[in-house]
Amino acid sequence: MIGVCYYPEQWPEQLWPEDLARMRALGISLVRIGEFAWSRLEPEPGRWDFGWLERVLDQCAAAGLQVVLGTPTATPPQWLVEAHPEILPVDRAGRTRGFGSRRHYDFASEVYLEECARAVSALAERFGQHPAVVGWQIDNEFGCHDTARSYSPAAREGFQAWLAERYGEVSNLNRAWGNSFWSQEYPRFSSVGLPNLTVTEANPAHWLDFYRYASQQVERFARRQLAILRRLSPGRWVTHNFMGMFTDFDHYAVARDLDLAAWDSYPLGFADLLPLPEEERRRWERSGHPDLVAFHHDLYRGVGQGRFLVMEQQPGPVNWAPHNPSPAPGVVRLWTMEALAHGAEAVCYFRWRQAPFAQEQMHSGLLRPDGSPDQGFSEVARVARELPAIRGAHRRRAPVALLFDYQADWVFRIQPQGVEQSYFELAFAFYCAARQLGLDLDILPPDGDLHGYSLVLIPSLPVFPQALARALAASGVAALIGPRSGSKTAEFQIPQGLPPGPLAELLPLRVLRAESLRPRAEVLRSGAQLARVTWREQVESELEPMDRFGDGWGALYRAGAAWYLPFSPDPAWLTTFLAERCAELGLPARPLGPALRTRRLGQLTFAFNYGAEPCAAPAPAGAHFLIGEPELGPYDLCAWE
């Protein structure tokens, strides 16, 4: 399906019928409505005005449009904030964040949780069985604008209770955190503060527990609404729209009981935020990085346990990145098809018509503010014509699994030990290497089912689960495991017997020391070139390293089918290394070049050209083309079986 985000509350009612008819004519069948409309739904405490929404939903039903209704809890109305200022979030500097934009609430606030339950119940009671409503979106972009963690009195109290539950006795907490260091011992749980306003860095174990606590508040918030929707709106799916490049809570845990995951895809905004060399950044400024959006499709399919959709698709320039260029002609179509090729059940564009007022007036829509069609509109029309050709193709398991872990990201952020160290970039480097070889990937949590994969990529897992080490050893599946894996216990300590902790069962080695470096090129003894090394570990092992750095430090260790990489690898080196491993495993893989990418969906293979130069799709002779042809124009795509 293709869909669109629509804000009837922002337009005169006379426009609605025409808008809905134009959507239908364009081939749109799903409309998201309502996620910021609290002040229009409940203009005064307890006075509900559902009439307008009912009229919109009735018109949608009549037009044959299906609706995903948003719960409006990302935008508590002014009267609510005035009555309960304690629901406002507090930032890391200890300042209360105010009314006048959005997401001005604290996940730890019981008062706000109750208010949300009240609002969601009223909404779901009234519209839970409306024929137009096929699904729900809970809230909007949890954590956006740095709101996953609040440093409020409510959070402090909640954190103390959470710690008491986790540790039982405060002496256990003191031991786990190592509080004999710097006289940090606490006499009781109620004396533990939040880790934000310390003189110098707070104890990393303190931070990690606070991140875990905050993540569980997001979970609790989502679950509360989910339970209401399940009860009052049976037979409808429930999702949440997650963000790109965002890791402040455990998305697997938050999505566990949802029917599917959704995410908001803004390829040009993200490309502008990626720390790429200037030349690379320019290269992708109008198409987005060829792997970054695909990475998120694979990630959110994993988060949604096999099911996902794109709830917001960039249709033209956005308003929020450091720079906001126009997509190149054809790119909106390219993005849409890339999502569908990854198994997205729907792609919804954000937004129908550009708003001439308020914060996002410089954000494009499918229509300009005056209602005339913008660039995205004509590309969506083309997508709608092409859609029937690929309908019915269903995703299969990919040959390669990549394990992505939110806690791993928190450990890197809390204790980077070098300014360049980023878990996200490390994971992305592994992903890019595989995708540049034309391999399809599934992204899974560290406890994901690895059965049936030929190769498992583990960019890093600082807190390495023993069960995973054992499962890898027992299955004998090929695994590439990156630096810092097994370097911490769950309590943020160095494991007894040194890193890699439990991973030593699979790879018998000991990491004696780790160093972070200014980015530098290195040549391994085999002659292999590393463009950029920022991290190295000194390993002691009975295993003879498969390669060494110039100064003799081991660079690659292998035990059976498992490899350990005790340094930060760059994507170019990883691509070569991975190609060698694929050759050993008999996995078909070949470099596609900088701008060409492929993806299989059932019996179909798609090829995408993210570049401004034409190129040829790697289709076999005799391939039957359902979309396009083997010669790809700039920003073009094709699909064959």
| Active site residues per annotation | 141, 312
Q: How far is the CB of 451 from ligand GAL (least distance, A)?
A: 36
Q: How far is the CB of 312 from ligand GAL (least distance, A)?
A: 6
By CB under 6 A, name the one of 136, 266, 563, 567 that touches ligand GAL.
266
Q: Which is nearer to ligand GAL, 185 or 360 (CB)?
A: 360
As a whole number of angstroms, the distance between CA 306 and CA 308 comes to 7
**Any idea what DSSP says for residue 367?**
B
Q: Which is nearer to ligand GAL, 2 or 441 (CB)?
A: 2
Q: Which is nearer to ligand GAL, 129 or 361 (CB)?
A: 361
Q: How far is the CB of 620 from ligand GAL (least distance, A)?
A: 40
Question: 605 vs 37, 340, 344, 623, 639, CA distance in Å?
Answer: 41, 12, 15, 10, 5
Q: Is residue 624 a contact partner of residue 639, using CB atoms and an 8 Å limit?
A: no
**Any idea what DSSP says for residue 296?**
H
The strand pairing partners of 510, in sequence order, are 540
Q: Is 312 in the site for ligand GAL (CB under 6 A)?
A: yes
Report DSSP letters for 610-626, one per residue.
-SSS-EE--PPTTPPEE
Q: How far is the CB of 366 from ligand GAL (least distance, A)?
A: 14
Q: Is 167 in the site for ligand GAL (CB under 6 A)?
A: no
As a whole number of angstroms, the distance between CA 519 and CA 213 comes to 35
Q: How many residues bind ligand GAL (CB under 6 A)?
A: 11
Q: Is residue 294 a contact partner of residue 301, using CB atoms and an 8 Å limit?
A: no
Q: Is residue 495 a contact partner of residue 540, using CB atoms and an 8 Å limit?
A: no
Q: Is residue 462 a contact partner of residue 408, using CB atoms and an 8 Å limit?
A: yes
Determine the interface stretch with ligand GAL among 139-147, 192-200, 420-428, 618-626 (rule: CB under 6 A). Answer: 139-147
Determine the interface stretch with ligand GAL among 286-294, 312-320, 471-479, 530-538 (rule: CB under 6 A). Answer: 312-320
Q: How far is the CB of 359 from ligand GAL (least distance, A)?
A: 8
Q: Is 272 in the site for ligand GAL (CB under 6 A)?
A: no
Q: Which of residues 331-390 bind ligand GAL (CB under 6 A)?
A: 350, 360, 363
Q: Is 318 in the site for ligand GAL (CB under 6 A)?
A: yes
Q: Which residues are CB-neighbours of 357 under 8 A, at least 6 positions away?
A: none
By CB under 6 A, name the one of 264, 440, 522, 537 that touches ligand GAL.
264
Q: Which is nearer to ligand GAL, 141 or 442 (CB)?
A: 141
- Report phi then psi at 334, rounded to 5: -60, -50
Q: Is residue 493 a contact partner of residue 205, using CB atoms and an 8 Å limit?
A: yes
- Report phi then psi at 78, rounded to 5: -60, -40
Q: Which residues are CB-neighbours of 384 under 8 A, at least 6 positions away?
A: 2, 26, 27, 28
By CB under 6 A, name the one of 63, 124, 133, 144 that touches ligand GAL.
144
Q: Which is nearer to ligand GAL, 316 or 571 (CB)?
A: 316
Q: Which is nearer to ligand GAL, 319 or 529 (CB)?
A: 319
Three-class secondary structure of residue 6 per DSSP: strand
By CB under 6 A, name the one of 106, 115, 139, 141 that touches ligand GAL.
141
As a whole number of angstroms, the distance between CA 264 and CA 556 comes to 38
Determine the interface stretch with ligand GAL among 22-30, 137-145, 206-214, 461-469 (rule: CB under 6 A). Answer: 137-145
Q: Which of residues 211-250 bind ligand GAL (CB under 6 A)?
A: none
Q: Which residues are CB-neighbours of 641 under 8 A, at least 6 positions away?
A: 603, 604, 605, 623, 624, 626
Measured distance between the N- and C-terminal CA atoms of the chain, rounded to whole angstroms: 21
Q: Which is nearer to ligand GAL, 155 or 310 (CB)?
A: 310
Q: How far is the CB of 266 from ligand GAL (least distance, A)?
A: 6
Q: Is 263 in the site for ligand GAL (CB under 6 A)?
A: no
Q: How far is the CB of 143 from ligand GAL (least distance, A)?
A: 11
Task: Kindly list the residues in this chain that would bind ligand GAL in the complex (CB under 6 A).
Answer: 140-141, 144, 264, 266, 312, 318, 320, 350, 360, 363
